[in-house]
Structure 1
Amino acid sequence: MDLFSRSWTALRTAVVEVPDEDFERPSGCTGWLVRDLVCHLVIGAQDVLITLVTPADSEPTVDAVTYWDVVEPPTGEDPLDALIPRLAAAYGEPRWLKFHFDDVGSAAGRAARLADHATRVSTRDEVLTVGDFLSAYVLEWTLHHLDLIAHLPTAAEPPAETLAAVRATLEKIAGTRFPASFTDKDALLLGTGRRAPTTEEKAALGDVAARLPLVIG
């Protein structure tokens, strides 16, 4: 819960601090502007709220790590991916998108703090505890924080502890450790294909390089 709150608070703060003119800059998500990414985060916050009030009686089927699948890279044909830019544009001015994000985002944060972490919930046709669900979302928030600031050099980065936690999660998903010489941020950017490795980094990765990027969904 502490990591969820830290990652979510940092991301929400980062969105608030983005100047309006920078909402038209590219984000780290291919094909999406910053405004599109923020619109996606609104939907993510809604998903948190929905899941926390969708109890399940059956045994958990996934945990904080197995919740995530390694999927094929997006082709741009997903209807939801195409819908996001249209929804983002419909807000018109960035202040309205910021307002909606802050409104729904603060509610998601409160709901997470109030939730019983032992309760089982259902989402994506899976069952997991609230604690595992919130832990899984630390990866979502941290990677999208990096996406948000990808072309905003003066913006604050995710907290160091959440970067380290998400690196550990990604290594469990990959079934291998990234080189110790990689910073946590670089391990995440390289591991998920958000940045191409340099010649030296590719050599350090060795056989692992052929298995990258890990597209998580």
Structure 2
Amino acid sequence: MGLFGRSWEALRAAVDGLAPQDFTGPSGCAGRLVRDLVCHLVIDAQGVLITLVTPSPAEPTRDAASYWEVHREPPDGRDPLDALTVRLAASYGDPALLRFHPDDVGSAAGRAAELADPRRRVATRGQVLTAADYLDAYVLEWTLHHLDLVAHLPHLPGPPAEGLAAARRLLERTAGAPFPAAFPDADALLLGTGRRPATGAERAALGTLGQRLPFVLG
């Protein structure tokens, strides 16, 4: 539960450090500007709030590793929610307004996570899982998007080391295979999710695992 909060707080602090001109630059998330990514984070925070107040009496159907659906192809931008996010981000106009919502809604999501009973079962996306597993799954989400945010903004602080390590372990569980131990956590996450191509040496080290990449989470 604590790692969710620390990862989310670090990501929100990085957003708070954005300069006005940074919002219209590219992010590490294919096809998304920084402002699109920040808007996506607002929607994610709303989803966390909704899920944590949606209890379920049913037995869990997913855990942190199986929460994410794994695809081979990256989003093509035709998904209605993706298109809505881009239009909504553009409608803010003033970057200060877009920075406000991750601070406002994001703070509420962080508090809700702190107050949640980790054993409580919650329902989301047609599945049931414990609050602890749900929040653990979002450590991976926050960490990947933190890497996206700073991809072209190296002056901003990156994700905390403990979040990177936890996100890597969860991605490996989701993928059902470990990445080479020599790979730094950030590189394992970027390569594993298709955020950057592997070098020749990395492809050799990946072996047959490289043939299964990328693991696009959705």
TM-score normalized with structure 1 length: 0.98
Tell me the CA shift for residue 203 of structure 1.
0.5
For the pair 1:52 / 2:52, whether they are aligned, the reply is yes
Runs of 4+ in structure 1 deviating by more than 6 angstroms, as ranges, are: none
Q: RMSD value over aligned CA atoms?
A: 0.7
Residue in 1 aligned with 2:138? 137
Letter in 2 for 1:42: V
Give CA deviations for 1:117-150 in whole Å, capped at 9, x if unaligned.
1111100000011111111100000000000111
For the pair 1:80 / 2:93, whether they are aligned, the reply is no
Consecutive unaligned residues of structure 2, counting only runs of 5 or more, are: none
Equivalent positions of 1:153-172 (< 5 A) are 153-172=154-173
Letter in 2 for 1:93: D
Q: For 2:36 and 2:77, how far apart are their aligned partners in 1?
A: 14
Q: For 1:39 and 1:146, how far apart are their aligned partners in 2?
A: 16
Q: For 2:82 and 2:91, how far apart are their aligned partners in 1?
A: 15
For the pair 1:34 / 2:34, whether they are aligned, the reply is yes
Aligned residues: 217
Tell me the CA shift for residue 97 of structure 1.
0.6
Q: For 1:7 and 1:69, how far apart are their aligned partners in 2?
A: 22
Give CA deviations for 1:184-204 in whole Å, capped at 9, x if unaligned.
000000000001000000000
Residue in 2 aligned with 1:97? 98
Q: Percent identity?
A: 67
Q: For 1:101 and 1:176, how far apart are their aligned partners in 2?
A: 34
Q: For 1:120 and 1:180, how far apart are their aligned partners in 2?
A: 34
Q: For 1:109 and 1:166, how far apart are their aligned partners in 2?
A: 18
Give CA deviations for 1:6-37 in whole Å, capped at 9, x if unaligned.
10000000000011111111001111100000
TM-score normalized with structure 2 length: 0.98
Q: For 1:34 and 1:113, how far apart are their aligned partners in 2?
A: 28
For the pair 1:187 / 2:188, whether they are aligned, the reply is yes
Tell me the CA shift for residue 73 of structure 1.
2.2
